[in-house]
Structure 1
């Protein structure tokens, strides 16, 4: 069987698909990954074959654009404005972004590039002849190729946000190049998705209206090494802190709350271990002696002996913590992140603080609550067991094979 993956320009979006790619390869099937040229090295490092032909709006620009639309609708919940969608600059007024000018110029360029990327994706699919397509929610090139070739397609969720959220956020993109229409296909929408690969335990099951293909969440955090002392927990509880590699670029400078987090946690009777990019660590300045810093340590390794994790509400961080059975504190700066942290909170496995409320006192109080209470630790461990009872990626391969064979 040949399986065509189609992924966005943001590596964490398709990280949950990587173990499925491994399982398919280990079962003797061929896998090719439609991606943007910027993702070539990341796909290669994951041990899969990249096909770098996609183009269009970068995910960071798309996210900033969605934040501006929320602000224009009066749905932006933070006491500051979102960043300028194109430049990433801080705005003093929504008028700083000329929407009419954008529609006349830049939007047309994005549409042209998107259309060309879709054409190249269809062209490769026609040559390679896949039996099945698996795509992340933001990549529409894969489902278009599947329709043109009349093969089944499955959307692979990256976390507990579904295709049919009753009040947002909408994780599916638009089709600015009208590529589905150009190929004589009905427009792509949430209602046109037939199959969804869902890695979420039932306690956090997101809303979808498609055939659900359940799978165990297997963390993939990229490469990296972990020091030996991580596997030797000390007498005090361990708090892991992980932060987005590009949150500031999408949500603005006020989303850089690492200094506040470190200050809030440093005085607790706990071992604090921070993993972040070199740039974020350098921006911290002097780190208290009680805080250990690891640059790009795989989160799975850090959480193996942690009692609490503090993160920005990203689906990858939340799902890796759920797989490890670790309670969570989500400090969020965007609607999708808020939904992820909210679902973890609703499942009883953590707490959620919107970013503008994440003061030193609030963070410290929430961390103390999570470390001292038992109910949320029990809930987190129960969700871990739920995840382990789900079908492995290897078992999902058999179901995908049946799907491909009709």
Structure 2
């Protein structure tokens, strides 16, 4: 099969479906990833054939400067910019299926124009579709793109949603839906030898996420303040940062270790809790590791993810304005006291089919 994957704006949106794309590649399918030019290097680093569509855009800068009353408007603008190139590519290459992440609205437009089915691949709790097919929440600007390319949004068949969230974290749905096991993916590759050894003291991991810090600035989740609040309790605090963030961290208190450009999944092994910004990638990695989570949300969508997690008992959420030092310490102590809900959620996640297994089911050719 020819499989066209479509991603826009943020590398983390593609990273969620990268293992599924790799499963397709390993199974012998012809895989192409279409994305905005500025994201091509990050996607190409995953080892998959990548095609740039549309013009380079500074999504993070536009978001910080408030160039849209609703962030969805920025994704509509991106879709409008990507659509012409993407539709032309799809009509020429003729994919058998188009796989797109929820903010890549140009994906279903290209699928409709090329007469191909499409699969929507989530990265976490479905904040865009809210558990529906997604068609009923499609912005008017995207509907206009369907018309511009010779088809109607009202005539597009309901797409299949592929979901890496355990069912208890996800929004209830009756739409066409398949769950898949979440597989962490990151382009960070540096693993210090010291973090591979089992921790001698209870470990708390603190991470602010690379994608979100680029959108709202590091002041929205001050990792240094959180680390200092947790230091001195007799445990070990490991702070996961990018190299540039580590250089700006400031004085490192006793009991705190900075680790730069290391996959967070490596640090979570043996951790008793993780404190993070609420990004879906970090949240799902911690779910898979069975680690209780404290979400300090600074954006509405991250609060939505945190609330979905907290409803399972596997984590807690504090708003940025409520996260003083005492509240953070108290929340972490509560989480460390009972990891049972987090382990239960991990078991649920591991019951979902692997990307390779789900792909084989979805692409099986009926025999006579």
Which TM-score applies when normalising by structure 2? Answer: 0.89
Q: 1:39 to 1:140 in 2, by over 3 A?
A: same
Whether 1:391 and 2:353 are equivalent positions in the alignment is: yes
1:199 aligned residue: 164
Higher mean alpha-carbon deviation, 349-358 vs 278-287, is at: 278-287
Deviation digits for residues 262-314 of structure 1 (CA, Å, limit 9, x no counterpart) = 11111222111111122322332111131111101101111122111110000
Cα shift at 1:235: 3.0
Q: How does 1:93-112 map to 2 (within 5 A)?
A: 111=77
8 Å CA contact 2:204–2:275 kept in 1: the answer is: yes
Whether 1:186 and 2:132 are equivalent positions in the alignment is: no
Cα shift at 1:244: 2.1
Deviation digits for residues 152-186 of structure 1 (CA, Å, limit 9, x no counterpart) = 101100012344438xxx99666369321212333
1:289 aligned residue: 254
Partner SS, residue 233 of structure 1: coil
Whether 1:175 and 2:141 are equivalent positions in the alignment is: yes
Partner SS, residue 17 of structure 2: helix
Whether 1:4 and 2:4 are equivalent positions in the alignment is: yes
Deviation digits for residues 295-347 of structure 1 (CA, Å, limit 9, x no counterpart) = 01101111122111110000000000001111100000111100111111110
2:343 counterpart (346, 370, 381) = 381
Whether 1:341 and 2:306 are equivalent positions in the alignment is: yes
Which TM-score applies when normalising by structure 1? Answer: 0.81
1:32 aligned residue: 32
Q: 1:57 to 1:171 in 2, by over 3 A?
A: farther
1:298 counterpart (263, 274, 279) = 263
2:96 counterpart (118, 121, 131) = 131
Higher mean alpha-carbon deviation, 51-60 vs 383-392, is at: 51-60
Cα shift at 1:219: 0.7
8 Å CA contact 2:79–2:106 kept in 1: the answer is: no
Partner SS, residue 323 of structure 1: helix
CA–CA separation in structure 2 for the residues paired with 1:260 and 1:364: 12
CA–CA separation in structure 2 for the residues paired with 1:171 and 1:8: 18
CA–CA separation in structure 1 for the residues paired with 2:13 and 2:224: 27
- Structure 1: segments with no counterpart, 5+ residues: 65-82, 87-96, 100-106
How many residue pairs match? The answer is: 361
CA–CA separation in structure 2 for the residues paired with 1:368 and 1:281: 26
Q: 1:243 to 1:309 in 2, by over 3 A?
A: same
Partner SS, residue 16 of structure 2: helix
1:150 aligned residue: 115
